Structure 1
Amino acid sequence: MKVFLAVISLMVLMQTDATGKRHKMRTHVRNVQGDDPLLEVEPIPPDTMIGPCSCQCCENAPEPLVAPKCANDIIVAVDSSACFRDHHSKMMRFLRRLVRKIGRTPNIQYGGDETRLGLMQFSSDILFPLHLSSFEDYTNPSTRKGLMNGIDEAISSLGFLGEGSFLNKALNATVSHFQNEPRPQALLDQISPTTPRPVVILMTNGKSHPSVTMDDIELSIAGLQAAGVTVIPISVTRECHGVQNEVWNEGLCPDTIILNKLAKVGRGDSSTFMEMKSHD
């Protein structure tokens, strides 16, 4: 309390001293007014006062920078050919966890100005149970939870196809789907200058029907590269290191040459394919 009172006293003292000095100055001015006519002129204060308490310097400050959202168009392509009959349920469980993980990851969550997801099944037929333009281009439902529930329902509808696998046709179909289902211009304007990146997550073993040649696959890979697509291949089974095992006997050993070729599309020469079991 004593300190507080001392501070108040000091402030009053300083104010009184300043008042006295101003009074003496006025008296002196009155005494010399007759000698100097300029003293009778009233000073005109400036229109704008600039000082340490002025905010004028901040009036034209630029808007804070906001990082653009990461816009991706992702197609998950699932090989549903006959050799995966006994693996279908496991592939669906992996797929469900994968799309949930995408939806919960910052900067790539689902939304019209963020990530759109398409689902494709392929064997001798090619189906799109979920298009990139679904949910009104991922704007309705407006919540991420609502979109994830809709995607989950689409996964639940995926049945097993069977028959042979035509990987080249599946790869070509992804390029066509990206081109045929672009985002509306209004949404593109919202996410400018970010350009949506096309990505294919491919669940397969790289095997195809005997009629599909390496030249067919190479031609499809060239089409992916020309379209600027990034490919992330995921092998359904682990790489085989010998012929005396169940996977080899079932014809499920991944074609590592084709999978590694696909892994380099949009990701660089050092990229390799992943294995579903190692991430299951």
Structure 2
Amino acid sequence: MMALPLTIFFLLPILSAGQVLPSDALPPIDSVCSLIKCNASITYQQNLNQLFLYLHANASLSGFHTATAGQGRDQIYGLALCRPDIPRSNCSECILQAIEVSNRTCCSYYSWYDYCLLRYSTENFIGEMNNTVTIFSESGSLVPEPALFKQQLMLLMANLSSFAASNASGGLMFATGDIRLNASNNIYGLVMCTRDISFDGCRICLRGLIFHANFFTRLSDGRSVTQSCGAMYSIDPSFLHLNVAAAPPPAAPPSAHHSPKETSGTQGLMSKGNIIVAIIVISYLIFG
């Protein structure tokens, strides 16, 4: 079967400071706790509380933060990450909820939500890509044409991953987009990596997720996460909370563009066969 003509958009939306997403969109995808090499002393618990304060205060403002608390055997390393397409208030709420329900006896722990990630460990993991523990979760309705759905989903996710793991993402290591499934439905996707790892690490991590046999089976909504990256999809457009129109494609593909890691810019059009990838102007305001 020939693939349908596709248009894929990578979008970084603008969200106002006052815009708030529903708080009921915060159930955890899953969490993983390891008790290996644990020294859960009173000092450790105090350092963990201090780490949580650092992570919540800073990641709520910037969308991402790494921190450490304590010294020696009681030293703890932590990381908090929020989706760049949600308002600051939802980021703060998600991180706070992750902290409140975390298992404080764990010496290595991470928990993914639709909106955020919380991770901490007594071992220094900052800057190291880790995809050793992978969680796959599916929900929604049965897909009537699973072969076509998977073909379009893989195409969307591969392109989103390439965008997120490059300078084009402006250092956010994040991309959202959609792809046509049939006359009445699109598939909406999201990928993201923790910003402490390299672009190569991000690319490897995401490829390990989306090409895994369990990434998609037969259901319309899916979440797959590891310690360093996550990939999500749905047929529900509200999944991405987007309200951004696509820019018209330019007349011809531009030359390669490389932007600094912490800046944004315009991207062009790439066309091959019946696949069109349109990159709109990135106009992004971090959490309002």
What TM-score results when the alignment is normalised by the length of structure 1? 0.26
What TM-score results when the alignment is normalised by the length of structure 2? 0.25
Higher RCO, Cα 8 Å, sep 6+: 2
More strand by share: 2
More helix by share: 1
